[in-house]
Amino acid sequence: MRTTIEASQDRDGSGPDPVPTALEHPATRRATGTGLILAGVILIAANLRLSVSATGALLDQLGAGLHLSSAVQSFLTAVWPLAFAVGGISGSWLARKYTAGTVIAAALGALTVGQIVHSLHDTPALVAGSVLAGLGIALANVLLPVVVRQYFPDRVGQVTGLYAMVLAGGSAVAALASVPVASAFHSVDAGLAVWVIPALIALAGWFAARPQRAAHSSNAHLIGATGTAPATPQAHLPLRHVARQPLAWALAALFGLQSVGAYVIMGWLPSILGSAGMSHTAAGAVLSIIFFLNIPISYLVPHLGSRMRDQRPMLLGLTAASLVGFVGLIIAPSSLTWLWVVFFAFGMATFPLVLALFPARGGTPHGTAALSTFSQSIGYLLAAIVPLTFGMLHDATGSWTLPLLIVVVVTVFQGLVGFYVASPRRGTVSEPGDS
């Protein structure tokens, strides 16, 4: 009987076709490429809150060292959502012109330079560097959901949960380590400058995954051309079309309302606890513990939420946790601090749940890009209002009670809007030509 090898030799006269090794197998190459892209996403996510948490943990020391007024300190807590709003609005247009991967690389460069500038121990540099870093973070914030939808369409909830978990971890590390680093080097600027290192690592990791991202895009076009699967959609959904839809405005409002509480915690909680008699190091540790507790929660929430037909119970439960935390901070800021820490850890998981709603309500990659850009830009403008006035209200009243009461009201509205957005009847944003 003739062997398979002999038959192969007869066909083309060149001997048997070589058997691909495990490393050469197409499935292995695809898995390796996907792994590199995922690693890049994780490295980027780790950097998206380092500067924010570090600035919040060091705010009192920055204020004392640079003789900052309460207005400037308020601006430093609000500059992040303001920069996110301004930078985010251009995310969809830039991604369409240069690709999401290229824009994210540029965003990481802006973040790196911004972190260097805002550690130069100068008030204008502090503000300018924060704005530049914020613009970089904004673009990555807006486009990461698009990257997840493009490269991991069957694992949106899992990957969103993973990068939200890493984002929370980065926040925790920055909040915990910034004050000790500043103390070790006898310089508050060192507590800011140290976070340039992970930004450079993320930039290198994203460039390392560039060939795999290009191969993925090429394969998508090739598959579409051969007719075996549809090509990756290249259409664009104009923001003006999204802006005419109530669902987009509701999601923007939800994103902004949940961001208010998050930025008050990241920017002002150490100062609030300091007023209650806690040391800078201990207050930074409290903030970091919130983020550490939030790590597994941030992974589970979008992962489970993406499997739920109705996300309203989960969203309302997380909102209630935030509400209890802020009320508790008014009533007993020092005696029951650790109890409020637990509630805040759950409440801040609203953020990854809202992130998971972008692809769910966007429907397609270009719908997700437009909805993410619109919602985050409008939402961050809304989110900047309360942190901007938070410190000034404290100075005017001599108490944290009124500012915190405003956040309580904002959180109630978050629950109401979330009840609307998370309803399974909402569907997805419509596109031009949809009936």
Query: In the predicted model, what is the mean pLDDT of residues 82-104?
Result: 81
Q: Tell me whether residue 432 is in a domain.
A: no
Region 292-308 average pLDDT: 83
Query: For residue 305, what are the CA distances in angstroms to 129, 403, 423?
Result: 36, 32, 12
Query: 14 in a domain, yes or no?
Result: no
Per-residue pLDDT band for 426 (boundaries 50, 70, 90) equals low
Closest by Cα among 355, 28, 332 to 161: 355
Task: Pick the more confident residue, 297 or 7.
Answer: 297
Residue 200 has pLDDT above 80, yes or no: yes
- Domain residues for 402? 30-217+235-426
Which tokens belong to 254? 């939800």
**Residue 18 belongs to a domain:** no
Query: Are 432 and 107 in contact, with CB atoms under 8 Å apart?
Result: no
Out of 157-161, 213-217, 424-428, give the one with best mean pLDDT: 157-161
* Domain annotation covers residue 20: no
Q: Does the structure show a pLDDT above 90 at 340?
A: yes
Asked if residue 12 belongs to a domain, the reply is no
Q: Tell me how far CA of residue 383 lies from CA of 9, 66, 126, 182, 259, in angstroms.
A: 70, 26, 21, 29, 6
Residue 408 lies in a domain: yes
Mean pLDDT for the chain overall:
81
277 pLDDT above the threshold of 80: yes
Residue 176 lies in a domain: yes
| DSSP label at residue 426 | G
Identify the CATH number of the domain in which residue 383 sits: 1.20.1250.20
Domain count for the chain: 1
- The reported pLDDT for the residue numbered 115 is 92
pLDDT at position 435: 46
Q: Does any domain span residue 7? A: no
CB neighbours (10 Å) of residue 75?
Answer: 19
Cα–Cα nearest to 355, from 321, 379, 338: 379
Distance CA 406, CA 3 (A): 81
Q: Which of 90, 118, 126, 139 is nearest to 196 (CA)?
A: 118
Q: How many other C-beta atoms are found inside a 10 Å radius of the C-beta of residue 341? A: 18
**Choice between 109 and 378, residue whose per-residue pLDDT is larger:** 109
Q: Which is more confident, 232 or 272? A: 272
**Among the ranges given (191-195, 327-331, 380-384), the one the predictor scored with the smallest mean pLDDT:** 380-384
pLDDT band at 75 (very low <50, low <70, confident <90, very high): confident
